[in-house]
Structure 1
């Protein structure tokens, strides 16, 4: 067989390495590698120390070392190299880490899909949600669901919308509930609008910065507390204000979570546009004051997101239906779904 021209040698070697790695992965499966070994490997990748992993897992250090050596022997490559007191991944180790994470994630996802009894009462669900939704809407809603389905387990991951959709795609969660930027990439996802959040203007109860009503001109002069520019909530806020002719504002402080924003407003740092569901308690207790903004409507939709074609256990399907049923006239669940969903 003739050798390929010199300019094609590098791509050919790359393909050969890739094929070798794929064959190596098949050998790992053939060697009855357990999910536990892969989990320990990923934990060593995270903590960069066999000793720390052994302490966390309450096992002897040689046990962890033996699992790593098993993988290295079966793959025929070194997975780690030492950098000072830390263990860092080799180039081959980085590829194996990506593969191992995917195997673990997909396996756990399948376990959750199959983990149910005949009547669907038992099961588990992992839900990813954006901060305001996860902090103020889902806790009472899921608590009400658990009262009716006492044998199931629900885990909520709180993150930004980009990471929520990433978790939905890679299977590390079963579905997501979050806000989305209209420019957000939702390719391969089923997206269903659940309810409309309203951004409302709030000030400290005794603040003299603004009265009970604020015009567009006044809003442009007020000191503001807001979220960072790289957050979807801030971008949606800016887009809504821009549509009403409000372009420049005095942003005094930026915080990445609504709780911190509310505390800053209560301390007199400025006013803030926040989602109505996040300040229900403070408004009822008189800790914050709602400043009306006639003619200024700032709606933010909240969506249910899941991977297209994904299978769901009966428990997961019931949980999604419960969330849907808690929504009335596109308004967010107001009582945690204690009486509304059937």
Structure 2
């Protein structure tokens, strides 16, 4: 009977899991900043101790054998629970109240959660809350690996939710924004006008971009003139304020900018879009009382969005071009850019 012994270090399990996830010894070595033979030695050591082959060649990539699949599931669970225990023990050093780590996609992590967590802190000042913002896939990976306690994010409808508990928070409006007194567009843009206008958006294959494109296609807008791709809303806003292009934003991302008069919301009759936000944790996650209280606070604190559409999109009509002329000007400006 084979038994596990001290040779099964966490480091070796992490290396094996990374090879399995990246499907490549070379990519795993690059990620770990070590030589390829070091990674190979870790794999061979595990296989020798277990007496089975864990990986196999699949084309140009590395795949798992049946035994490898079972070992990967076990190793990933060990690493997940170890990370959680390390964070919980670290929280105990800070005091008895506990701690919570929230992973978030860019918009909720930058614009929604800071206010909600700050409100929570006023009632629970004894605990420690950390927010780690990244792209939605990285946030979801953090949930699965135990790097966070829960996540607030957007999720692709086709995302695998096995092993996850998913709470729907609320739908947040997607609003079209322009520079104040933009030369590209007026206060209103009809759906048929959008194809000719320049746009800024998130890079392709980012969940947020895919959700936006899918809704536009559902409204008959199959193509757009995307001239710049930025991953964070702040970068997108910088270019929009310079009147380089238009951009769709989640409402919370531009509320303060609109109130300050730095951005205008362009009304889009017949094109009402929104993106749902979710709170996600692993189904088998054991939540502390502090973490449960924070989750309950977030789920009960739907923000009262009040972007002042009428006030901020109403521009001076003195000397304004007729609609037909304005649309031709917008299309001409888009071509020139």
For normalisation by structure 1, the TM-score amounts to 0.68
* Structure 1 residue 172 corresponds to structure 2 residue 147: yes
**1:106-125 correspondence to structure 2 within 5 Å:** 106-110=81-85, 112=87, 122-125=97-100
User: Counterpart in 1 of 2:5?
Assistant: 26
1:327/1:333 contact within 8 Å kept: no
Q: 1:273 to 1:209 in 2, by over 3 A?
A: same
For 2:45 and 2:274, how far apart are their aligned partners in 1? 44
- The corresponding residue for 2:40 is 91
Equivalent position SS for 1:303: strand
1:195–1:245 distance in 2 versus 1, CA, 3 Å: same
Q: Structure 2 CA distance, aligned partners of 1:129 and 1:309?
A: 20
Mapped partners of 1:211, 1:333: distance in 2: 21
The runs of 4+ residues in structure 1 deviating greater than 4 Å are 85-88, 94-105, 111-117, 331-334
Partners of 1:105 and 1:182 lie apart in 2 by 25
1:206 to 163, 181, 186: 181
Which residue pairs with 2:135 in the alignment?
A: 160
SS at 1:238's partner residue? helix
In the TM superposition, what whole-angstrom CA distance separates every residue of 1:174-230 from its partner, at most 9, and x where no partner exists? 111100111111111111100111110000113111000000111111110111111
Number of positions where the alignment pairs a residue of Structure 1 with one of Structure 2: 263
Write the deviation string for residues 42-83 of structure 1: whole angstroms up to 9, x where unpaired.
Answer: 89xx9xxxxxxxxxxxxxxxxxxxxxxxxxxxxxxxxxx9xx
Counterpart check, 1:326 vs 2:319: no
Shift of 1:26: 2.2
| 1:113 and 1:313 in contact (8 A); partners too | no
Task: Indicate conservation of the 8 Å contact 1:195/1:332, yes or no.
Answer: no
* 1:122-271 superposed matches below 5 A: 122-271=97-246
* Counterpart check, 1:295 vs 2:270: yes
Q: Is the 8 A contact 1:112 1:123 kept in 2?
A: no
Q: CA separation in 2, counterparts of 1:204 and 1:96?
A: 60
CA 1:321–1:235: 2 relative to 1, 3 Å: same
SS in 2 for 1:26: coil
- Larger mean CA deviation between 186-195 and 89-98 belongs to 89-98
Equivalents in 2 of 1:28, 1:297: separation in Å?
58
Unaligned runs of 5+ in 2: 19-28, 47-71, 308-337
1:269 deviates by: 1.3
Q: Specify the SS of the correspondent of 1:127.
A: strand
- Between the aligned partners of 1:208 and 1:42, the Cα distance in structure 2 is 54
Q: 1:154: Cα distance to partner?
A: 1.2
| Residues 96, 332 of structure 1: alpha-carbon distance in 2 compared, 3 angstrom cutoff | farther
Cα distance in 1 between the residues matched to 2:306 and 2:207 = 22
1:73-115 residue CA offsets vs partner (Å, 9 max, x unmatched): xxxxxxxx9xxx9655331336889998865542231355688
TM-score by length of 2: 0.69
Alpha-carbon distance in structure 2 between the residues aligned to 1:270 and 1:193: 32
- 1:10-49 CA-partner distances (Å, limit 9, x unpaired): xxxxxxxxx97xx4x52347xxx8x8xx59x989xx9xxx
Distance 1:171 1:291 in 2: 41
Unaligned runs of 5+ in 1: 1-18, 47-80, 335-342
Worse overlay, 221-230 or 120-129: 120-129
Q: 1:141 to 1:95 in 2, by over 3 A?
A: farther
2: CA distance between counterparts of 1:298 and 1:313? 37
Query: 1:116·1:313 contact (CA, 8 Å) conserved in 2?
Result: no
2:259 aligns with 284
